[in-house]
Each structure stands twice: as structure tokens, then as C-alpha cells.
Amino acid sequence: MKRRDAYLKLTRHNGRAGTHGTYNPKHNDRSFNLANSEHIDPERAKGNIYWDCFYGFRSALAPQDPDDLAATFSEVERQFYESRYSNFVESQNERNAKIRHTERNRSIPDLLSSRKTCPEETIYQLGTLDEHASGEVLLAVVTEFIEEFKARFGDHVHVLDWALHLDESTPHIHERHVFDCENKHGEVAPQQEKALEALGFELPDPGKPLSRRNNRKITFDTACRKMLFEIAKRHGLELEEEAEYGNREYLEKQDFILAKQKEQLAAQQNKLDELTLKVNDMETLIDEVSAAAYDKAVEVVTDVVRTETRKEDMRMIEDTKKWVLSPERKAPQSTREYTAKHLDSVLGQVPQDHADHRCPLAGEAPEAGSPAERQGADQGKSTGFCSATAEPLAGRADPTKAICAAYRRKIRKLFSIIVRGDVY
């Protein structure tokens, strides 16, 4: 069996469920329409061999007796579970009723569909798609293994059925079995770990607690693999002694998984670094745009604040002039005219581009109160505008405040000259 200095690869793979739930034995005994599966050759399927624990061997050439109660693997497994575990199911349901937890009740179909209590399926294969043993050699090795398997572990591990498939790309065998053991109530129940403990299997690391990576099933599978290799060697086969994962030189399976995870993490880290650089570049661009926008906003706000401040001060001066010239004032006419003339000179110092603000104010009615009182109110308006406008720019030096303060100091100085004249 040594082909071109290449040793055959012996595979024994276990599983209970996949993407679509627990494995269906209909695939194994071909109890479905083969026309719906492109990878199965219906002509070669006639050479498949099937075995179950109730009725033994059968094939398409030697079909099962139609009078048999179980025509398919599904029915065989249901019958086995009913005959062996019905007492456990009924007793457990009674205990659930006594403690008022009937929602925990289960049935035989529930046991067959649960990942913990359904049969375990094992696939055996000798070789690969390119290099593999014949179906006859595979059948001889695996049937001898199953007989020894039942002799050694049959008290607690029961082989239910198996099928040799010759109708796919590579000959292989599907075998299904169930683990069981008596529970604390003396009832036989499907339970893997307790069954293996009863068979004498220890944890891989007895010093550590039972876990997914430290359980008796690992020890059991190691013993089965060793037994299978010994039987294959007795048949004269030369096999790969060391496991190979992912087409790489030998590594322990967990080491290979960790190496793959590290590669994935490194790739993800590189992608994250690239995204981080892009984010940093974007943040730098945002800062630059924000700075330019802020400078432009300062220019606009400065002009607006300056204009509004002058408008308020001009209004105050206009109102004061109207108040001084009103007939209610008791000061001499000459004093009042002198004061009004001085106010005109103050207005004359306002830049020409703001002179248009005097027109709409000239026709307004004078406000109540003295100019000094209105000065405080008007200053509050002007200063309030300045603060409200500058508030969104808090956290930076605000040039508008300095401009407003300097301009208002100039206005107050001129206005103080008027106030000192005994106009009031």
C-alpha cells in the first residue's frame, strides 16, 4: 500500500452535529432520492454495504427483508433508544412532575435530537482523493476494528449501525454509536463522560478539573486511534504515523490552531493600523480646516461686533442729544445748544461707512430716563451682544472683546465731558 514513496493517511473523525443540527443517518443508508445529490453515483451505490445492530448486513444486492420492522437506520436507532432508555425517560419525567418542573420533560425523539444524548458518528477513510486504499481493504480494517471496539468497550459504548460508501470520490465508512451508563437512580441513560469513567478512562491531565480541553473523551479517542493503527499495520499497511493539519509539517493540533489564530490577529492588527492612520490623517485635516474656519469666523465676528457696538453707541448719543434739547430741560438754552453741538462733534468722529445708522435713529422717540441711566442700559445691550456672539468661540483668545473694550473706552471718555456739563 505504499504508493510512490507516499504513505497512506488513515483518518478517524468524530462528530455529533453540524450547521443544520445533529447528523442525519439517512445520508448513511441512502434512504433518500439519490438523484438530488450530484456527488453520489447511483450505479456505484449498488455496491455499498450496510450493517445495523438488529438485522446485521445488507446491501442493494442483498436487500433487507421487507418484513423487518426497521427498514432504515433512523428506525433502528429509534428502536434501540426506546428499548434501552424508555425507563430512564419515564422515571425522569415523573421526578420532574413531583418537583413541578414538567417543562424539563423529554421524550425519545428529544434524546435522538439533542447534541448531548444523540449518537456519535465516526468516519473512517484510508488515503485521500489522489491516493487511497480499495473499498475491500478499508472494509477489512474497519470491521476488525469495530469487532475489537465492541469487545473492549461494548458494556458502555454501543455500535448502532455503519455503512461503507463506494459511490463517492473516496471509499469511506460512516459508523454511529452511543455512550450510556447507570445514573444515581439505577437507570441506564445516555451519558458520555460517566460511561467513559466506568470504562476506566482518566482525564488527560488528572490534576486539572473536567473541561472542554480536559475530558475522558480525549483519552478514549487516543486509545481508539492507537488500536486502529495497530490493526491497519497487521493488514500490511504503511501509514503516516504523525498527524498533519492544514498541509503543514507536524504540529500538535492545538499549536496549529494557536498559530492560525496568531496569523489572523496579525492580519487584523495590520488592517487596524491602516485604519488608524487614515483616521489620524482625517483628524489632522479636520483640525486644519477648523483652524482656517475659526480665523475666518473671527474676522466676520469682529466686523459684526464692531458695527453693532458703534450702532448702539450712536443711538445712545442721538437719544442724549434729543433729551438735552427737549423743552423739559431746565438748563439755559445756550448750555443745551453747546452740549448738542458737542454731541454732534462726537458723532462726526464715527467712520463714514457707519453714518447711515444715524438716519433710522433720528425719528425714534426718546426713551425715558436720564442719559446716564440709559447709558448703563445701552452698555449692557452692546456688551451683551459682544458676549453672546463670542460665546461659541470660547476656549480661544477673542479679539472682538479687545476691540469692543477699546472702542467703548473712547466713547465713555467723550461722554464724560458732556456729563460734567451741568445740563441735567
Q: What is the pTM of this model?
A: 0.57
Q: Regarding the domain delimited by 10-241, which CATH topology (the fold level of the hierarchy) does it fall under?
A: BirA Bifunctional Protein; domain 2 (3.30.930)
Bridge partner list, 50: 58, 163
Residue 405 confidence (pLDDT): 65
Distance CA 4, CA 241 (A): 17
Q: Where are the alpha helices (DSSP H) in 73-191?
A: 73-98, 108-113, 135-153
Asked whether residue 406 carries a pLDDT value surpassing 70, the answer given is no
Taking the CA atoms of residue 357, residue 358, residue 363 and residue 364 in that order, the dihedral angle to the nearest 10 degrees is 70
Length of the chain: 424
Lowest-confidence pick of 29-33, 50-54, 55-59, 129-133: 129-133
Most confident of 92-106, 321-335, 347-361: 92-106
Residue 416 confidence (pLDDT): 56
Query: At what angle are helices 253-325 and 333-348 packed, to 10 degrees?
Result: 150
Q: Residue 50: name the closest of 23, 81, 70, 28 by CA.
A: 28
Residue 297 confidence (pLDDT): 66
Taking the CA atoms of residue 99, residue 100, residue 101 and residue 106 in that order, the dihedral angle to the nearest 10 degrees is 90
Asked whether residue 362 carries a pLDDT value surpassing 80, the answer given is no
Dihedral sign, Cα of residue 330, residue 336, residue 337, residue 343: negative
pLDDT-derived band at 42 (thresholds 50, 70, 90) equals confident
As a whole-number percent, the residues of the chain with pLDDT over 90 amount to 39
- Greater confidence (281 vs 317) lies with 317
- Greater confidence (172 vs 309) lies with 172
Most confident of 161-170, 247-256, 411-420: 161-170
Cα angle 44-48-53, degrees, rounded to a multiple of 5 = 165
Cβ neighbours around 308 below 10 Å, total: 17
Name the strand (E) or helix (H) holding 120: strand 120-126
Residue 45 confidence (pLDDT): 87
* Residue range 73-91: mean pLDDT, rounded: 96
Lowest-confidence pick of 86-100, 209-223, 276-290, 344-358: 344-358
Asked whether residue 1 carries a pLDDT value surpassing 60, the answer given is no
Q: What is the mean pLDDT of the chain?
A: 78
pLDDT-derived band at 206 (thresholds 50, 70, 90) equals very high
Asked whether residue 172 carries a pLDDT value surpassing 70, the answer given is yes
Domains of the chain, by residue range, sit at: 10-241, 266-420
